[in-house]
């Protein structure tokens, strides 16, 4: 009887202890846990949505313009409708989108002045050659994104491979490879671009090569530092003891453990490449006319800034939004992949 009473007395304590020992959080993979933390970062989540919208508009935006038919490109020139201010149906009472312009201190309806057909609207205005700015901005955004993504892929492939080999092999090989990096990094990017323009024709290819030739250096150094920290860990030594080959150790063991750092650096390199392309096009070393990119559009708008400010305003806004969104996403990924930030 006493034994039964003792069991009943101690049973609740044992149950509480068992409940306390249970794992209340479900088992998650590294990527699942990182995605949960990204979703908690509102700025990064909103930036991902904004970037998704910009990518969709870069692909399909130019086809949404009411002034470009199936047989007209973004370079189609309609000179009678040149220098028209933005006009959006239904926003006639709002400034900047009512088709009116201040000329000599008087607000003038430019569409009526140029006898534009009824029902013809340029949502973001037209340039000095009568080209639709809305279509050209999104076509230029697509070109800028293509250049940035291709340059980031070159950065990823060359930089990661170089950093893995340099960090893992070490010794004299590492010393020689790092001296090569120092020589390459000592050459300014602008000099490399000018040399590429002398060798190749100005265009997307020459800009991508110029950006890719020097942008991978930062990635290589970051990857090398991570490999030097991990290559003496127990799991690497165990793989060597079991007879695993060096390429498999690099790909199967080291690369997954530094994937977070790689992704973060890629996300930071994309806006840098976009800005560098815009800078080159702005100073006249980028894409030749009539190819549209954010840099060439800002350059064209800068020439008529005092008369047609909308030509430089809208591409500048798109460029700033892309830069800010990519940087916020990169910050969010950095916090998500950092084990110290885990809740």
The whole-angstrom separation of Cα 60 and Cα 58 is 6
**Hey, which bits of the chain come out as E strands?**
100-103, 106-109
Give residue-wise pLDDT tens across range 219-249.
999 999 999 988 888 888 888 888 888 888 8
Class of domain 42-63+127-335: mainly alpha
Between vectors from CA 33 to CA 28 and to CA 37, what angle results, nearest 5°? Answer: 155
**What does the domain layout of the chain look like in residue ranges?**
42-63+127-335
Report the chain's mean pLDDT, rounded to a whole number.
82
The string over 3-13, giving b where at least 16 C-beta atoms fall within 10 Å of a residue's C-beta and e elsewhere, is eeeeeeeeeee
Residue 267: which residues within 8 A CB-CB, separation 6 or more? 326, 329, 330, 333
Give residue-wise pLDDT tens across range 73-91.
888 888 888 888 888 887 7
Give residue-wise pLDDT tens across range 299-334.
888 888 888 888 899 999 999 999 999 988 888 888
């Amino acid at each position: 009887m006493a034994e039964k009473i003792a069991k009943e007395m101690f049973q609740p304590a044992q149950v509480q202890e068992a409940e306390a020992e249970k794992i209340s959080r479900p088992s998650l993979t590294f990527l699942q846990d990182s995605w949960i933390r990204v979703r908690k970062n509102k700025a990064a989540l909103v930036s991902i949505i904004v970037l998704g919208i910009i990518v969709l508009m870069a692909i399909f935006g130019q086809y949404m313009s009411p002034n470009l038919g199936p047989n007209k490109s973004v370079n189609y020139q309609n000179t009678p409708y040149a220098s028209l201010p933005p006009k959006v149906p239904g926003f006639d009472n709002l400034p900047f989108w009512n088709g009116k312009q201040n000329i000599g201190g008087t607000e003038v309806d430019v569409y009526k002045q140029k006898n534009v057909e009824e029902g013809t609207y340029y949502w973001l205005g037209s340039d000095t050659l009568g080209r639709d700015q809305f279509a050209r901005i999104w076509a230029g955004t697509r070109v800028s994104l293509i250049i940035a993504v291709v340059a980031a892929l070159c950065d990823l492939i060359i930089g990661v491979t170089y950093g893995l080999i340099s960090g893992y092999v070490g010794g004299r090989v590492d010393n020689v490879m790092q001296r090569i990096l120092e020589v390459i990094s000592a050459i300014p990017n602008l000099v490399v671009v000018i040399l590429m323009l002398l060798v190749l024709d100005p265009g997307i290819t020459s800009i991508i090569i110029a950006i890719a030739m020097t942008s991978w250096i930062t990635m290589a150094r970051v990857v090398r530092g991570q490999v030097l920290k991990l290559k003496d860990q127990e799991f690497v030594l165990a793989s060597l003891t079991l007879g695993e080959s060096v390429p498999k150790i690099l790909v199967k063991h080291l690369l997954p453990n530094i994937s977070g750092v790689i992704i973060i650096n890629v996300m930071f390199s994309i806006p840098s490449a976009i800005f560098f392309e815009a800078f080159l096009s702005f100073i006249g070393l980028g894409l030749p006319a009539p190819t549209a990119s954010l840099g060439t559009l800002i350059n064209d708008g800068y020439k008529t800034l005092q008369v047609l400010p909308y030509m430089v305003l809208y591409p500048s806004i798109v460029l700033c939004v892309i830069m800010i969104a990519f940087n916020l996403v990169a910050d969010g990924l950095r916090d998500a992949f950092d084990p110290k930030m885990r809740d």
